[in-house]
Chains A and B, each alone.
Chain A
């Protein structure tokens, strides 16, 4: 029986207009356009009117801990995904690992497209403007400007290595990263720009003095030869606008139409953050910059400070970071009533501690239980399909790639380097084991011109689940203009490939709808089909649509695609 998509009533909900941009669900036009699936999110308007802003730390903490910690997710499907459930490239995100083959040498280079700093001479120009690590802003011998920071005395190499290693990983994951290099700083060759100033506790700016440099270096780890290991982050080009918020849109940026909590790449930071233990995900650790691209000013969004990764956010007297928010109602109540005897995992988890790595472990790690310091709304809004998307990218990091990324930290302790790589690998596997089998894991559906359907099972391929007994495919003809689907048959197979019905249309421009499910006693959720759409082209069938999970609680992917419950 033909099924009709309901599509009129939702047009009155203006808040969802952002969703109109990239999702097919609520459109008033055809289900699919000729340019679907979008590979790049358009940024069509000139954003030169954007003004810098400041995100108050206290306000963000209050909102995250007092509001977001209590919020229930809305179960809203990510709104910046294209019609095949993927995140298009944008000023936020560039598909790299998982989309293209990332070689170890690519990963080792990461975001570093420019020349490294020339440490023969440093000219200090002002203090650091962001980050907790001691440092300053300086020009190298080439005249390039860098944010230079150091390791704390108690844990040499830890902070500098974490920034470098994490910047490679987050670059490969797709985020805009600051170009970051390990370098050296020789105080005997340091100079001070005549205009260099530093903000004093009184708020007044006065010229930099040698004692200011001494004060910075007093608490940082020194090399035996009197130099200092440092990490240098290149000055981001463009006008710095402040950080981005994990909620709402930037009201003065015309291209920013998807609420940030509904951007999949920001939701996915819950998975990527858990993997790398990036616990300090506040807006202050991000940067928006007004840049010129294709003759137009747009806002480019950076995940600027990824240094609170691995075990480095835990200070000498911290064990709970990564395990609990700064404030959490349930554990607060438990400990209050039990006088502390209701123990949390972080109080007993064993660590193999290396000073250059910190408290970072992979044996008790459960990504569902991981906690950043404060939960953003994007963190709250992550759904199972977002986590699945993220987990596939995490799983795309082979052991060799992980080792290549860790090696860029230039650890002098080989055991520490090996330990870090091992733990990252363990946490990667925990993420895959948790999130890949949690939803129908069918991926990469392909349909040949002859009607041969093939696909992959991400959970089975990663060996986190047994193969299902049967794969089922329900085939329908699909009218792209009206949204009417007409069933034409069902096929099944014990393997991830099967022949489609004989009566598949052959006319160019025809559409078919295929619901793909798997029957596994161990994973009942796999019976919930993913809905796919193929368009007939001259070369065969092209995937143009994929819905893995419904838009609202109680919906199925099928009903979501049609607007039906």
Chain B
């Protein structure tokens, strides 16, 4: 074992980006080794330098970035010193890359076959046309696509996200590289698809003894898929070592925070704490860390849920049919929401869970009446939402507020924060100018933002802060119901924990009812009281959180639960 040489040795790597204010360091003195056949996961939040490190290894930094120090030794050769031509020989043939976004990583105007064959030809894996084609078919078969022969003639838009990622993995592994860099390969995919793809990737790399650098923001996923972890924060490595050790015994305060905030790991801890019969509070770290510990969030949600409250929101056989235009005068009906029924008791949180295309967001839009219902009724406090007149609808909207997914898209970039939060107050003509101003200050305090942001514009705030502004705007009218459409999905784990904590706190304080729409079952465990699982527009399962997690009734729910990364990692609680 000791005789083994590392395949890749990164020594004191420094990367900087050139900006208008001079060089800004992105990676500062990073060291790690990778041995043949092993999987190392680089974990960190956005901006931690994890992707930059990976791109620096293969010298594919974007235009303004450059390596300013250190060495990258690949089998003893320093990759930072290679010429462009030599580097091109290394890329693809010896180091493969699976890019982050399967949707944009294939050229939409070329057939799949062309793109796979291009790789094969560029790396000189086969000579004649027939051989290239044969090899391409083989690559797709290895990537787990059936009918590989037919698939070659299709275009990327005919493939689902998971199939595209399989193609990209196939391309990345086509020349049997010694090292594969997978940059968030499954972040854009549904959990069940993610599990299948990663299982397949693991099988492939095991067979060929390929070393893998796995870049992810999800600590649970990293620990499940890699034996060694490198945790990065602000361009530096804060902790590295065997995955299990780090999860069970995080030593650096940043890693401790990360472990406490990871939803996939938190649900595990909630379960084990409950099983041991402890009070959940004992799992809590110091009070200062409380705001980031998801177990404490879960505990607070548990406190607030009241079982016997009357339903505030009621869906009765709600159906929504979209007409999909086919280019001609005809259109195809598409049932996005199919006879969905559920009730949300006052002051509780109902989570609507499902993968993309399950109709969960459409259900939320129907509730907010941003879309019209095809059939069925939605009752809010006993009133039929579909039958409301203009004035009543306005009244309803003051009681029911949405928070949307994309923290970058949900605030108007040309309005400052103060005006953004005041907008609902102005629209509903609440009080006079002075009282509106006071209310804006009040909600700003509730979401823990300083008053100085009032005159600022959204582009000056981070994603988490914008989402807090969106929550503040939703709270301005003192609503009773808040519809959270993937409200924390786009946020980094720590920020996500913070926002979830804020939501739990606000619910306890103001008695809010949440309809929480998410694809992430791990988050559900933390925040929700009841769960409705949706698949292809239908309700598959409906129960309380503990029932769904401990005793799932349907196959689909079991599949979803099994796909939560890191669910079976033994943790020291």
Chain A partners chain B: no
Binding site for A on B (CB under 8 A): none
Residues of chain A at the chain B interface (Cβ within 8 Å): none
